[in-house]
Amino acid sequence: MVLRIYDWLDRRFDLRPAMEKILIHPVPSWVNWLYCFGGITFFLFVLQVITGIFLMLYYVPSPDHAYASVSFISHDIQFGYLVRGMHHWTASLIVVMVVVHMLRVFWHGAYKNPRELNWVAGVFLFLLMMGFGFTGYLLPWDQKAYWATSVGTNIAGSAPIIGSFILKVIRGGTDLGAVTLVRFFTIHVMVLPAITVVFLVAHFLMIRRQGISRPF
């Protein structure tokens, strides 16, 4: 079925040359399993997007309904516990994989000329993954999420001079409340994914352009 759909589209839009140019690329002989961590990280990100979309169908970002909607997903929706569990544990695993991938890149010297900007893009992607974790942690709106976010935002608010301003921007006021939850939800499902896609595209284009680096 998939092949027939592809052939149907290929006859009308001549997709094959473009797909071959994107997908067919020689793999250097020195590449081994250590080079798979970046691909695993991308797969986990795609899994996060897919499971996140399903969770958004039932999640309600309000203090009155957030916890109840998460409980409803976990206990009343068929396979809801599985989808939420995949989203929860993948969130931790993706951070681990990003760190391992960056350690491999650093160990092999793949951050050096002419790949400095690719390394910078990778650092920004790591920070974005941390942002996903921080903003997503509040969404269940339970006691652990509430107080952990309170501590995290207080740390940001302790910065000299601009600390109080940062705190109000993050929380949407002086206290954690409905505005904070909606703000975190919006950043988690709209702002961070959009920025991440931009950096991923740039990351992959630079890899494609510069090729896979040989270990130094």
The residue among 94, 91, 55 whose CA lies nearest residue 185 is: 55
User: In this model, does residue 21 exceed pLDDT 80?
Assistant: no
> What pLDDT, on a 0 to 100 scale, did the predictor assign at position 29?
80
Query: Would the CA dihedral through 195, 198, 204, 210 be positive or negative?
Result: negative
Q: For residues 40 and 93, is the Cβ–Cβ distance under 8 A?
A: no
Band of residue 1 on the pLDDT scale cut at 50, 70, 90: confident
Q: Which amino acid is at 139?
A: L
> What pLDDT, on a 0 to 100 scale, did the predictor assign at position 16?
85
209 or 92: whose pLDDT is higher? 92
Query: Would the CA dihedral through 57, 60, 66, 72 be positive or negative?
Result: negative
Band of residue 10 on the pLDDT scale cut at 50, 70, 90: confident
Q: For residues 34 and 40, is the Cβ–Cβ distance under 8 A?
A: no
The contacts of residue 138 (CB under 8 Å, 6+ apart) are: 145, 146, 148, 149, 176, 180, 181, 184
Query: Would the CA dihedral through 21, 40, 126, 26 be positive or negative?
Result: negative
Domains of the chain (ranges, CATH numbers): 35-210 (1.20.810.10)
Distance from C-alpha of 154 to C-alpha of 167, rounded to nearest angstrom = 7
Q: For residues 191 and 198, is the Cβ–Cβ distance under 8 A?
A: no
Host H or E run for residue 156: helix 143-157
User: In this model, does residue 216 exceed pLDDT 80?
Assistant: no
> What pLDDT, on a 0 to 100 scale, did the predictor assign at position 149?
96
Rg (alpha carbons) of the chain, rounded to whole number: 21
pTM as predicted: 0.91
Q: Which amino acid is at 94?
A: I
Whole-Å CA distances, 44 to 77, 88, 89, 96, 129: 23, 12, 10, 11, 11
Mean predicted confidence (pLDDT) in 102-129 = 95
Distance from C-alpha of 85 to C-alpha of 101, rounded to nearest angstrom = 24
Across the chain, what does the average pLDDT equal? 93
Q: Which amino acid is at 191?
A: V
Band of residue 36 on the pLDDT scale cut at 50, 70, 90: very high
